[in-house]
Amino acid sequence: MHFVHRPFQKNDTIAAIATPAGEGAIAVIRMSGIHAFAVADTVFSGEVQQFATHTAHYGKILASDETPIDHVLLLVMKGPRSYTGEDTVEISCHGGNLIAKRVLERLYEAGARAADPGEFSFRAFLNGKIDLAQAEAVQQLIAAKNETAMRASAQQLEGALSKTVAALQKNLTDVSAILEAWVDFPEEGLEFASMEEICNTLETLLLRMRRLQATFHEGKVIHEGISLCLAGLPNVGKSSLMNALLKKDRAIVTPIAGTTRDLIEDTLRLGSLHFRLIDTAGLRETEELVEQEGIRRSRKTMQEADLTLLLLDASRTLTDEEKTLLQNISPEKTLIVWNKIDTGTMDETISTLAISAKEGIGLDTLSAAIEARIWKQGPPAKDEIAISHLRHFQALSNAIESCETVIAGLQQGISAEFVTSDMRRALSELGTIIGTNVSEDILSAIFSKFCLGK
Ligand SMILES: Nc1nc2c(ncn2[C@@H]2O[C@H](COP(=O)(O)OP(=O)(O)OP(=O)(O)O)[C@@H](O)[C@H]2O)c(=O)[nH]1
Ligand SMILES: [Mg+2]
């Protein structure tokens, strides 16, 4: 769905179903805007405009001819003490698709309009209830697939990233003020010592920004998960390993080479990580059309995967194909694993990782090796802030680049007026993370990814 958020209409009151589609115990319809209480008043059996804020009321939603549509619980929240910062009404009705829709339509009839995706959060942002980084955290919290992701999103929603960015902004602003003063009152002169001080302060700030920038990999791992590909020649035991890792009989295993033809995917949790585990067709030269296509997909998956486990068979010597394969792998994205260690020995010069998928030997060591490979700098500490949005990464990178230009300029003795623009750029780049100086397009792109009613 393409969504270009409309300019903020102060008089618009928006409404949407906030719960997922389908049958459930209850469905929640959310309405926000200056007429929210008046609209609710029109459709509800009680006098909504008289209700005290933050109170819940049992009653009926009535059609225009006064026939009851549903018995509901209606919650009123007076702005600014609400998610959006505006007057908000939440109606819990019976959780049938039709009922919720009917109640929503009734709200439209009474003057509300359909909310765009993410429009409630967009209003919360415009009304200063949350900044942009927090709005993004809301979405990530909803989408969190593991506890680490959930904890990290909650932290960002609490404002951990926003505070870090704000502190950086404050320190940069202080430096910037000194430089601007130097431009405005050059006769005051900038002492050599204070110039060195400025460079030192900037270096310290750079260090902090680089550290935050470096958490991007970890942040992505936490939130997006990792694709883990099982690859190797036919019959080395890829499907057996998939089943062993998943602890279920997911893929067909037979002694016939070429059993797996297509990609087989499942989700796997190892410790704090979650993976998209992909079993592939064994790599070999073949005339068989179906298998050829399978092998093409195997190679593509290997290339795209974050990590590949390349399986070798310890019960036999390496084939020429395997030797070529080993020469062409990208080492940082591959773990070489000897399988079938129960029937043979490994060549330690190639890899010391050995397992038996069939007997369940060495799987813990393999899991540990995978985790160690994934966390480039070790797993993040519980309270460490990790960035995970490309947008944040790019903003930080630009801010870092600008600061580096400023330092280089000052060190070369370039006059301050030429570096102040880079200082300002660094500041505005940092600002985009929390939502100052953000273009309409970016806002639109961010909020359009939200679900309806959020
Ligand atoms: N002894 C022993 N046999 C194994 C082990 N792992 C797999 N096998 C056997 O090796 C044969 C092939 O296993 P698969 O898991 O189907 O191998 P694959 O790599 O998926 O093969 P393709 O799908 O044909 O590419 C089966 O007979 C398995 O029982 C192991 O650790 N030890
Ligand atoms: Mg297989």
pLDDT digits (tens, 9 = 90+) for 228-285: 999 999 999 999 999 999 999 999 999 999 999 999 999 998 877 889 999 999 999 9
Co-location of 327 and 235 in the same domain = yes
Domain count, the chain: 3
Residue 105 lies in a domain: yes
For ligand 1, mutation pick of 358, 359, 361, 363 (most atoms within 8 Å of CB): 358
Is 204 in the same domain as 251?
A: no
Taking the centre of ligand 1 as the mean of its atom positions, its distance from the CA of residue 287, in whole angstroms, is: 22
Tell me, yes or no, whether 333 and 281 share the same domain: yes
Residue 3 has pLDDT above 60, yes or no: no
pLDDT value of position 270 = 84
**What does the pLDDT look like over 99-148, one tens digit per residue?**
999 999 999 999 999 999 899 999 999 999 999 999 999 888 988 877 78
C-alpha span between 142 and 152 (Å, rounded): 12
- How many angstroms separate the CA atoms of 84 and 32, rounded? 7
pLDDT in tens, 289-333: 999 999 999 999 999 999 999 999 999 999 999 999 999 999 989
End-of-domain residue from the set 130, 157, 182? 130
User: Stretch 205-224: mean pLDDT, rounded?
Assistant: 89
Residues 309 and 326 in one domain: yes
In a domain, 59, yes or no: yes
Of the residues 374, 409, 443, which one is the last residue of a structural domain?
Answer: 374
Residue 144 in any domain: the answer is yes
pLDDT on residue 2: 41
Which pLDDT score, from 0 to 100, does residue 88 have? Answer: 98
Instruction: Kindly state the tokens that stand for 376.
Output: 């480039």
Same domain, 146 and 124: no
Residue partners of 274: CB distance under 8 A and separation at least 6: 145, 146, 225, 226, 267, 268
- Could you tell me what percent of the chain has a pLDDT over 70? 95
Q: pLDDT digits over 165-190, tens only?
A: 999 999 999 999 888 887 777 666 66
Q: Establish if 452 belongs to a structural domain.
A: no
Same domain, 104 and 172: no
Q: Is residue 293 part of a domain?
A: yes
Indicate if ligand 1 lies below 6 Å from the C-beta of 339: yes
Q: Looking at the structure, do residues 367 and 245 belong to the same domain, yes or no?
A: yes
Q: Are residues 315 and 192 in the same domain?
A: no
Domain end call among 72, 95, 130:
130
What predicted TM-score, i.e. pTM, was given to this entire model? 0.74
Same structural domain, 363 and 259: yes
139 and 126 part of one domain: no
Domain range holding 201?
135-215+386-434
CATH number at residue 184: 1.20.120.430
90 in a structural domain: yes
Any idea of the CA torsion for 209, 213, 215, 219, to the nearest 10 degrees?
130
Backbone angles phi, psi at 75, to 5 degrees: -115, 130
Q: In a mutational test of the pocket of ligand 1, which residue from 240, 243, 359 has the highest number of ligand atoms less than 8 Å from its CB?
A: 240
Distance of CA 36 to the CA centre of its chain: 32
Same domain, 308 and 404: no
Average pLDDT over residues 435-443: 82
Domain with 299 in it: what CATH number?
3.40.50.300
253 CB within 6 A, ligand 1: yes
Using CB atoms within 10 A of its CB, is residue 267 exposed (0-12), middle (13-18) or buried (19+)?
Answer: exposed
- C-beta of 431 in contact with ligand 1 (< 6 A): no
CATH code at position 99: 3.30.1360.120
Give the per-residue pLDDT at 188: 66
Predicted pLDDT of residue 377 = 60
* Residue-level pLDDT at 1: 33
Residue 140: Cβ-neighbour burial (10 angstroms; 0-12, 13-18, 19+) = buried
Q: Are residues 199 and 265 in the same domain?
A: no
Ligand nearest to the CA of 342: 1
Residue 330 covered by a domain: yes
Going from the Cα of 134 to the center of ligand 1, the distance in angstroms, rounded, reads 48
Examine residue 381 and state whether it is found in any structural domain, yes or no. no
Calculate how far, in angstroms, residue 374's C-alpha sits from the geometric centre of ligand 2: 25
